[in-house]
């Protein structure tokens, strides 16, 4: 049984679109194939990695680094 498909028409940056179309042609791949591969990669690799550390933890880390910047720079030397 063939996969079910959905049609959508996003608006994207013109230069990015031109690069996307050019790469598809160079590689002999359809634009649909490249979009599906890019979406799959993003959803399965990028999104999960964004949730490895809670936002609150990263905010506390950023505050600590900012508060201790001088000490951290001296320790780095």
Return the axis-axis angle of helices 69-76 and 55-67, rounded to nearest 10°.
80
> What pLDDT digit, counting tens, does each position of 1-58 carry?
677 999 988 899 999 999 999 999 999 999 999 999 999 999 998 888 777 777 888 8
Give CA–CA dist 16/35, Å, rounded.
12
Give the distance from CA 51 to its chain's centroid: 13
| 6 belongs to a structural domain | no
What is the percent of the chain with per-residue pLDDT over 90, rounded to a whole number?
Answer: 55
| 2 belongs to a structural domain | no
| 20 belongs to a structural domain | yes
Residue range of the domain that includes 57:
14-76
Residue 25 pLDDT: 96
| 37 belongs to a structural domain | yes
| 59 belongs to a structural domain | yes
Its pTM stands at: 0.57
| Overall number of domains in the chain | 1
- Per DSSP, helices labelled H in the chain are 14-27, 31-41, 47-50, 55-67, 69-76
């Amino acid at each position: 049984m063939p996969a079910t498909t959905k049609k959508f028409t996003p608006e994207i940056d013109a230069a990015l679109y031109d690069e996307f179309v050019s790469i598809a042609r160079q590689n002999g791949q359809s634009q649909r194939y490249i979009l599906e591969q890019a979406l799959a990669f993003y959803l399965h690799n990028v999104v999960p990695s964004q949730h490895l550390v809670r936002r609150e933890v990263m905010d506390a880390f950023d505050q600590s680094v900012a508060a201790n910047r001088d000490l951290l720079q001296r320790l780095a030397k």
